[in-house]
Chain A
Amino acid sequence: MKQRTVQLDQGSGGRATHELVKGLFVEAFRNEFLLEMNDSALVQLNGGRIAMSTDSYVVDPVIFPGGNIGSLAVHGTVNDLAMRGARPLYLTAGFILEEGLSLETLEQVVRAMGEAARESGVLIVAGDTKVVPRGKADKLFINTAGVGVVPPGIHVAGQNARPGDAVLINGTIGDHGMAVLCKREGLAFENEIRSDSAPLHDLVRQMLEVCPRIHVLRDPTRGGVATTLNEIAQQSSVGIRLLEEALPIGEDVAGACELLGLDPLYVANEGKLLACVPADEAEELLQVMRRHPLGAKSRRIGEVTVEEPGRVFLKTRIGGHRLVDMLRGEQLPRIC
């Protein structure tokens, strides 16, 4: 029963996406930068190192608690650059608009984009606009691409995790995915769940100032913390052990996930980073992170191990162990 058409789960950010990217795109475009499979590529230009990245945004609904598709499109690309230790500088923006989209919505989205760019210290220096007939796109899609400069002496990449490293996160998991889902499905909980969408470059800059030896930074977007950690484990050929009791999960997100049968480990984040850092610098780094507005709830959630390379494990609250696999299938459609 061979598959002949593109399936939705190939865009979920989980295993099916991974296999499509590896099997088709990386194969067809084959080069050393792409093979690294990092959030952005590092290229040499005039003796300096430039980080480059691109991302498309198709979130439904386009406006959600805590942001909209415009601010998300800036934060997403800024974060992809920051995850290589780069200082983001310039972005481009491409718009695909559906005939009939309300101009008020478009204005709201574009203004949020401008504001997000100012807040992130980047300039949107080029753009493109296309309009397609009604029904050929869903309201609006945005693509952003960005470049940034990587300071000398910084070597952050998915393949650099070392056994013994501590795994850190800068706050609660699953907020973005649940905010979007609840908005889309009209689910209301005691408090409104807000997306964590935010630019992480400044937090990263401060982290690298105290610890230039940070090995890995990744933002756990689609596929969630579980999928991103699996990618790191595979890229670095190490195991990763998580502690269930250490995972920071907001009360409302935990409740909504419980109700809907979702696992927060697989729910998307847009303002979170995972860091693998030398264990002896973890405490100092956590203190710096907690002083930053985007890191108040930073936690050490696990460690990198020699055992079981390529896999992620969880020590459960009651003391048992289990495997944590990549996202399979589609947990939530179109969240970014």
Chain B
Amino acid sequence: MKYLDEYRDPELARRLLSRIEEIAPGDRVIRLMEICGTHTVAIFRSGLRHLLPSTIRLISGPGCPVCVTANEDIDRAIWLAKQPGVIVTTFGDLVRVPGSTSSLNVERSNGADVRIVYATIDALQIARATPDRQVVFVGIGFETTAPTVAAAVKQAAAEGLVNFSVLPVHKLLPPAMGALLEEGNLQLNGFLCPGHVSTVIGASAYEDVVNRYGISCVVAGFEPLDLLHGIYLLVECVVKGTPQVLNQYRRAVSRDGNAAARRLMDEVFEPADSTWRGLGPIPLSGLRFRNSWRRFDAGERFSMPVIQVREDPACRCGDVLRGLMEPPQCTLFRKVCNPQNPKGPCMVSGEGTCGAYYRYHTESL
């Protein structure tokens, strides 16, 4: 198919692989992190891991928004769903993520009104259609989805919709990359940066990471040749010792990204400290409403109490998200934790690392 087959060509893939083999050092391991969950799945689906030289390790990072949503935020969404007259709306995977003691899915079967939407504007439509009910959208996602939520909030304000609000759980990627490197356990040599997020924030958003930590960042697309090309560029930077930002995905990502989307996001939200599952609190890595928009914050509208959070000590999603552990090393993996009965978010999400390992990987391959 036009515009796809070109990026899946077996002969070009073979040539890129042999170029990677040529420049990969034989005497030391190069550790590269693909931050994005869509990359993780694309890598598994193409079977690319097994084709790389053994000295190049791909480590899956915290780039699945469902997975990094903290237990306390799931608990807050559940609390909202239990309030009389409230309709909670959100994206599909989130409803199955277990919080401290329950999930939105379980609350739904107990009678709560939880609805899956494909876009924030669908939640707005529900608010218009049910003026006697309060409609809350649980806003998860990175810089890719936050502008669409901002747009919906502005639309609600313009229409004078008083029964629509948002629980903002958005996350910003570059601060999390910094936090991973600060921790120091990973010994990373480079980041394969997410294509979708970068369409909004632009390739230049990673310059700070390169300057501060001396580690290369390559923005890459999602087809097999995109991934191989991105890995090739990263390995080349590492071997030459020239840390820099490179943009492999130029057909979609520019240096400065989508300024209009960012303006929208900046108008409604401002950066705030945020807690990530596995990574803990990271300064200025989330978004909260600016004062002039705070009336749309579900947390304020419903005077939410502080909720006692309980973590499942056996679930190692936190270590998986930090790249410190591969899913098969977790004692729950495949035994008691599977997509039907997930113990943690990395197994629930279609782009979670545990789910990807479960669906596509076996030790014997």
Asked if A323 and B365 make an inter-chain contact with CB atoms under 8 angstroms apart, the answer reads yes
Mask: chain B, 24-54; 1 = CB below 8 Å from A; 0 = not: 0000000000000000000011111111000
Task: Give the shortest distance, in Å, between A219 (CB) and chain B (any CB).
Answer: 24
Residues of B within 8 A of A281 (CB): none
Residues of A230-284 at the interface with B, using a CB-CB cut-off of 8 Å, are 245, 251, 254-255, 258
List the count of A-B residue pairs having beta carbons below 8 Å apart: 77
Task: Give the shortest distance, in Å, between A235 (CB) and chain B (any CB).
Answer: 20
Interface flag for B13 (CB, 8 Å): yes
In the assembly, what is the distance between CA of A151 and CA of B341, in Å? 45
Residues of A within 8 A of B310 (CB): none
Q: How many residues of B contact A (CB 8 A)?
A: 32
Q: How many residues of A contact B (CB 8 A)?
A: 29
Contact partner of B362 among A1, A308, A315, A328, CB < 8 A?
A308
Asked if B45 and A316 make an inter-chain contact with CB atoms under 8 angstroms apart, the answer reads yes
Interface flag for A136 (CB, 8 Å): no
Asked whether A322 and B45 contact (CB < 8 A) given A5-B109, A16-B340, the answer is yes
Residues of B within 8 A of A317 (CB): 8, 10, 13, 46, 224
Residues of A311-327 at the interface with B, using a CB-CB cut-off of 8 Å, are 311, 313-323, 325
Residues of B within 8 A of A27 (CB): none
Asked whether A321 and B50 contact (CB < 8 A) given A255-B1, A307-B364, the answer is yes
Residues of A within 8 A of B46 (CB): 316-318, 320, 322
Task: Give the shortest distance, in Å, between B174 (CB) and chain A (any CB).
Answer: 26
Interface flag for A130 (CB, 8 Å): no
Residues of B within 8 A of A318 (CB): 8, 10, 13-14, 46-48, 51, 224, 228
Closest to A245 in B: B10
Task: Give the shortest distance, in Å, between A12 (CB) and chain B (any CB).
Answer: 12
Q: Is the interface of B mostly helix, strand, loop or mixed?
A: helix
Mask: chain A, 3-16; 1 = CB below 8 Å from B; 0 = not: 11100000000011
Task: Give the shortest distance, in Å, between B169 (CB) and chain A (any CB).
Answer: 21
Task: Give the shortest distance, in Å, between A226 (CB) and chain B (any CB).
Answer: 10
Residues of B within 8 A of A16 (CB): 340
Residues of A within 8 A of B44 (CB): 322
Q: List 14 contacting pairs A-B, 8 Å CB cutoff, sorted by A.
A: A1-B103, A1-B105, A15-B340, A314-B47, A316-B45, A317-B46, A318-B10, A318-B224, A320-B46, A321-B50, A321-B365, A322-B45, A323-B360, A325-B360
Binding site for A on B (CB under 8 A): 1, 4, 8, 10, 13-14, 44-51, 98, 102-103, 105-106, 109, 224, 228, 339-341, 358-362, 364-365
10 closest cross-chain pairs (CB), A and B:
A320-B47, A318-B13, A316-B47, A322-B360, A322-B47, A321-B47, A321-B365, A318-B224, A325-B359, A328-B339
